[in-house]
Amino acid sequence: MRTKLDLPADRVRHARTLAGRIAQPVQSFIDGHSSVTVERATLRLTGADGANADGVPVPNLVVDQIKAADPLFLEDGVLLRYVNALVRNGDTVEALNAKIAAGFNVASLPLGDRATIEKKAAELVQAGMARIKANRQRRGVKQEQFKGQNNSPLLYLIVATGNIYEDVKQAQAAVVQGADVIAVIRTTAQSLLDYVPFGATTEGFGGTYATQENFRIMRAALDEAGDKAGRYILLTNYASGLCMPEIAAMGALERLDMMLNDSMYGILFRDINMYRTFVDQKFSRMINAYAGIIINTGEDNYLTTSDAFEKAYTVLASQFLNEEFGFRAGLPAKLLGLGHAFEMDPTIKNGFLYEFAQAQMAREIFPEHPLKYMPPTKFMTGDVFKGLAMNTLFNFVSKATGQGIHLLGMLTEAVHTPFMMDRYLAVDNARYVMNNIQDFADDIEFRQDGIMVTRAHQVLKETIDFMEAVDKTGLFEAIAAGMFAEVKRPKDGGKGLEGLIKKGPHYFNPFEKQLAAELGLGGAQ
């Protein structure tokens, strides 16, 4: 079937080939390394939980104990000594966690028989995998029960009060108003914390702490609201940052449905070390893949530092790279919610046509992906009437191009944190527009010498030219040179580099090995 933009298939294939070539050297580095948060995620999947009297999480305590005993021990993987303590003490996981929180040091025990440790670890791996699989199955049952009742695209709303119990009230109200996806914004700068707080929280700034207990509370609240509304409500949180794999693990254990997870976002926009980020995103995405969690990538952020018209090719290039790294972590296309945004300067003549072309291009190049489309924010001024008009055009493009996940635009963007009424108006506007153009896409064709087709072909060409330059330079060097988002990040700079771990010859991570086997990946140690 002919596409509307008639993009040359050989050029799209070439772009994917370039993405593979660009990713390969990075993948080689990833395969030889772990990080402190990958190790803590492994502990969490095993059942390590809780915190000491000072609020330091048990997984952090274990990693710190092992590092303090001998930094080289980290090269073996921390699960080895955690399970060794279980075997030697004859404890349950819960009892060992309590002892660690009270001061017990797992590194104080000599290693016992390796085969016995591995046997016990295999039991814990199976229990953790079974819990995640049960969550995946429960999601499938609920989605089948309410099949066809969600909006298309899914209408995505955020809550961000700082208090998980207030978030619940806003989230349940949003479900009543028609939202399909609730995203709990994280408290400001949590992405830069190299630990995950423990328990329910009520004091966040600009958002609510991502904790496993907060995940559990919101999941239960959305199940209740969804059952009443007759829709399955998807829960989203943010896995980006220094604890990306841990938050992915918590999301898998508590049945989250979407997680923001970009291969380069932390590097470019949070100044997290590039080596650490690439290692962390791989393991986090393996967890997401097994859990059936849709990842949301962050290409919209490129347009906050770069001009959306002039640098549109960087968005497409990032989509190709996120897809490639996603595939290498076992994520199928249906779980790759590649991002983009309606962010061009509204004063550009024919800007709507360029936005339409960009969105249509993404849809045609990534036909099986649940694309996540972000609303105008950069040029929202506080003029609510103009803001509503901009959001209406955004809603039109999203429906007309078959986007999968639609983050609703707020008419009060740039004024204040949206009130529930602002969110209701956003839902109402989207549903009005989308209902009125339900079959619009099937009823139109694009002029092959017109503005939109010409623009899409131009952006694809610029994307390939850019990716060829990145391929020649190398991705690490390209990021250091500021080729992405006009942000320069030195290879040996950024936060978290000290948490990188080179895998030793006897590295032990049975979760990574089992996930790789389940996802059909090779090469895991």
Secondary-structure breakdown of the chain: helix, strand, coil percentages, each rounded to the nearest 5: 55, 10, 35
275 has catalytic annotation: no
Smallest CA-to-CA distance from 57 within 198, 221, 227, 208 is with: 198
pLDDT for the residue 525 = 43
372 has catalytic annotation: yes
pLDDT for the residue 241 = 94
Record the pTM.
0.96
* Residues whose CB falls within 8 Å of the CB of residue 505, separated by 6 or more in sequence, listed in order: none
pLDDT for the residue 522 = 72
Helix (H) or strand (E) holding 339: strand 339-341
Bridge partners of residue 57, in order along the sequence:
51
422 has catalytic annotation: no
- Contact at 8 Å (CB) between 256 and 222? no
- Contact at 8 Å (CB) between 42 and 78? yes
Each residue's pLDDT expressed in tens, for the chain with a length of 525 residues: 468 999 999 999 999 999 999 999 999 999 999 999 999 999 999 999 999 999 999 999 999 999 999 999 999 999 999 999 999 998 899 999 999 999 999 999 999 999 999 999 999 999 999 999 999 999 999 999 999 999 999 999 999 999 999 999 999 999 999 999 999 999 999 999 999 999 999 999 999 999 999 999 999 999 999 999 999 999 999 998 999 999 999 999 999 999 999 999 999 999 999 999 999 999 999 999 999 999 999 999 999 889 999 999 999 999 999 999 999 999 999 999 999 999 999 999 999 999 999 999 999 999 999 999 999 999 999 999 999 999 999 999 999 999 999 999 999 998 887 888 899 999 999 999 999 999 999 999 999 999 999 999 999 999 999 999 999 999 999 999 999 999 999 999 999 999 999 999 999 999 999 999 999 997 544
User: Sheet holding 405-407: strands in order across?
Assistant: 336-337, 294-296, 258-260, 234-238, 181-184, 154-159, 405-407, 372-374, 339-341
* Residues whose CB falls within 8 Å of the CB of residue 148, separated by 6 or more in sequence, listed in order: none
Active-site entry in 4, 67, 282, 372: 372
| Sequence ranges of the domains in the chain | 150-439
Q: Is 437 exposed, middle or buried (0-12, 13-18, 19+ CB in 10 A)?
A: middle
Active-site entry in 167, 300, 313, 399: 300
Bridge partners of residue 407, in order along the sequence:
156
- Contact at 8 Å (CB) between 94 and 483? no
Torsion of CA 281, 286, 292, 296, to 10 degrees: 20
Residue 157 phi, psi (nearest 5): -125, 150
CA distances from 503 to 101, 120, 461, 498 (A): 27, 22, 40, 14
pLDDT for the residue 65 = 97
pLDDT for the residue 336 = 98
Bridge partners of residue 234, in order along the sequence:
181
* Annotation: CATH topology of 150-439: TIM Barrel (3.20.20)
Active-site entry in 265, 290, 354, 373: 265
Torsion of CA 25, 28, 258, 479, to 10 degrees: -30
